[in-house]
Amino acid sequence: MALGGAHAAETNDLAAVYRANCAACHGVDRLGAMGPALLPESLERLKPDALRDVLRHGRPATQMQGFAGVLSEPVLDQLVSWLRTAPAATPHWEADDIRASRTVIHASGSLPGRPAFDTDPLNLFLVVESGSHHLNVLDGDKLEPIHRFATRFALHGGPKFSRDGRFVFVASRDGWISKYDLWNLTLVAEIRVGLNTRNVAVSDDGQWVMAGNTLPQTMVLLRADDLSLARIYPVVGKGGRSSRVSAVYDAAPRGSFIAALRDIPEVWEIPYATLEPRVIALDTVLDDFFFDQPYRHILGASRAGGGQVIDLDAGHKVADLALSGMPHLGSGITWYRGGREVMASPNLKMGQLSVIDMESWQTVATIPTNGPGFFIRSHEATPYAWTDAMMSPRRDTLQIIDKQMLKVVGTVTPSPGRTAAHVEFTRDGRYALVSLMEPDGAIVVYDAATLREVKRLPMDRPVGKYNVFNKTTRSSGTSH
């Protein structure tokens, strides 16, 4: 092709290459169509090598074919940087686009109001299989899959359940919010709220769904019933600066949504009653968040290091946290130890867990682990907490910590050399389910008392898994 020459770096030429070879699937404006959106925000998590590789060799078992031999090597290299560059015209996604994107497959009230299967609907698990973009529904009693939903490309943030566990809402990277009925095992409605979305939250009263976007910089409120658009909140701070949303949370005990913002030192609280944002000004941008069980306090960590405690009622900082490395507060959990509530969080940079007293905010223990990790999980009915070493060479191990002694008392290695992380318990706390996060991975089920493997269920890169009961009752052993 004529564009293979050394001077093909001209943006116009690359735009033409894109139009001729990619636009049919990825959209003329790179906003996505049958294939995913290809904006810089969309590709943020794709490593440089991975991006080069997908352009050359495609993705097996998908419509994405490799372009090695079709486009010249220099053009492929230039496409990589072109895809990382924002389009000349800022992409828009306004109220009209949002409304026009909505599909309702089953109107509310049109499906039977009882589960179509004979198992405990509160002990279902949803497993996100990120390899081929599926949601696997596991029966937590029999520990068997009962259904598999195809999802939009790349789900972001965890699935969120309605309080009765019947409905689940998921957000995709490209801004699609999908609502599934777990009792009838069907997709109910979908809408595209943005071009790049972080996550979704569902109000405890069952009325509202709030999505947090990075592109455009908005939050979008939907009616939970039919996913119709209720309101768009442009995220503009007190100083007039706009911000991407890091995440939105449902603060059920407060009857509000809370939004963490990525670019401005503010936290927004949006009560279900008024739907008007209340701005809490911080002295620094917080990157990573943990809420205590009553949602009275936020424990936050800043990019610069260090942590702080914000009292949401008072609307200001009440304590500093002495933390080293890069604690992953967002996946922290709490439990009671000698009558005191403690919080433990893994560390993304250091092989240690920090244990903090939730009254004095002092660090009561630092537990050495196999390496930097991402998650810690437990359950009210087990004496142990499980943590991974996912960010280290020991990423194939999980360590088991005694919650009273604050010591490592066991280790499991589901498959030597393969990444094992993210634990979730059955409703009764009897079994711990671990993800082998590989393309030909599995959910490995352990007896939570004996630490013996009970069974493994093959899955395609299973990442998170979510138990309906533990999530809807806001178990202190898991994130909400």
- Residues making contact with ligand HEC (CB under 6 A): 21-22, 24-26, 35-36, 38, 42-43, 46, 51, 54-55, 59, 62-64, 67, 79, 153
CB distance 409 to 392 below 8 Å: no
Nearest approach, Cβ of residue 399 and ligand HEC (Å): 32
- What CA–CA distance (Å, rounded) separates 346 from 389? 9
CA distances from 280 to 260, 312, 316, 446 (A): 10, 8, 7, 43
Nearest approach, Cβ of residue 417 and ligand HEC (Å): 24
CB distance 214 to 86 below 8 Å: no
Nearest approach, Cβ of residue 128 and ligand HEC (Å): 14
Nearest approach, Cβ of residue 135 and ligand HEC (Å): 15
Nearest approach, Cβ of residue 76 and ligand HEC (Å): 8
Q: 141: closest CA among 167, 119, 157?
A: 119
Residue 389: how many other CB atoms lie within 10 Å: 24
Give the H/E segment covering residue 254: none
Nearer to ligand HEC, 117 or 153 (CB): 153
Nearer to ligand HEC, 55 or 326 (CB): 55
User: Mind giving me the DSSP string for 366-429?
Assistant: EEE-SS--S-EE--TT-SEEEEE-TTSTTTT-EEEEETTTTEEEEEE-SSTTS-EEEEEE-TTS
- What CA–CA distance (Å, rounded) separates 202 from 142? 28
Q: 425: closest CA among 123, 120, 119?
A: 123
- What CA–CA distance (Å, rounded) separates 125 from 480? 14
Nearer to ligand HEC, 42 or 199 (CB): 42
Nearest approach, Cβ of residue 157 and ligand HEC (Å): 16
Nearer to ligand HEC, 214 or 382 (CB): 214
Nearer to ligand HEC, 32 or 140 (CB): 32
Residue 367: how many other CB atoms lie within 10 Å: 20
- What CA–CA distance (Å, rounded) separates 41 from 177? 18
Nearest approach, Cβ of residue 36 and ligand HEC (Å): 5
What are the φ and ψ backbone dihedral angles of 157, each rounded to 5 degrees?
75, 165
- What CA–CA distance (Å, rounded) separates 96 from 222? 14
Nearer to ligand HEC, 42 or 476 (CB): 42
Nearest approach, Cβ of residue 441 and ligand HEC (Å): 16
Nearer to ligand HEC, 135 or 333 (CB): 135
Nearer to ligand HEC, 82 or 180 (CB): 82
- What CA–CA distance (Å, rounded) separates 124 from 114? 14
| Cβ-defined contacts of 311-319 (< 8 Å, 24+) | 312/251, 312/254, 312/258, 312/267, 312/269, 312/280, 315/280, 315/281, 316/280, 317/282, 317/283, 319/361
Nearer to ligand HEC, 67 or 466 (CB): 67
Nearer to ligand HEC, 11 or 413 (CB): 11
Nearest approach, Cβ of residue 459 and ligand HEC (Å): 16
Nearest approach, Cβ of residue 6 and ligand HEC (Å): 19
Q: Is the C-alpha dihedral spanning 74, 77, 78, 79 positive or negative?
A: positive
Nearest approach, Cβ of residue 427 and ligand HEC (Å): 32
Nearer to ligand HEC, 26 or 471 (CB): 26
User: Mind giving me the DSSP string for 37-70?
Assistant: P-STTTTTTS-HHHHHHHHHHB-TTSS-B--BTT
Terminal-to-terminal C-alpha distance of the chain: 52
CB distance 321 to 332 below 8 Å: no
Extended strands (E) in 240-315: 245-251, 256-261, 266-271, 278-281, 286-291, 297-302, 307-311
Nearer to ligand HEC, 25 or 381 (CB): 25
Nearest approach, Cβ of residue 83 and ligand HEC (Å): 6
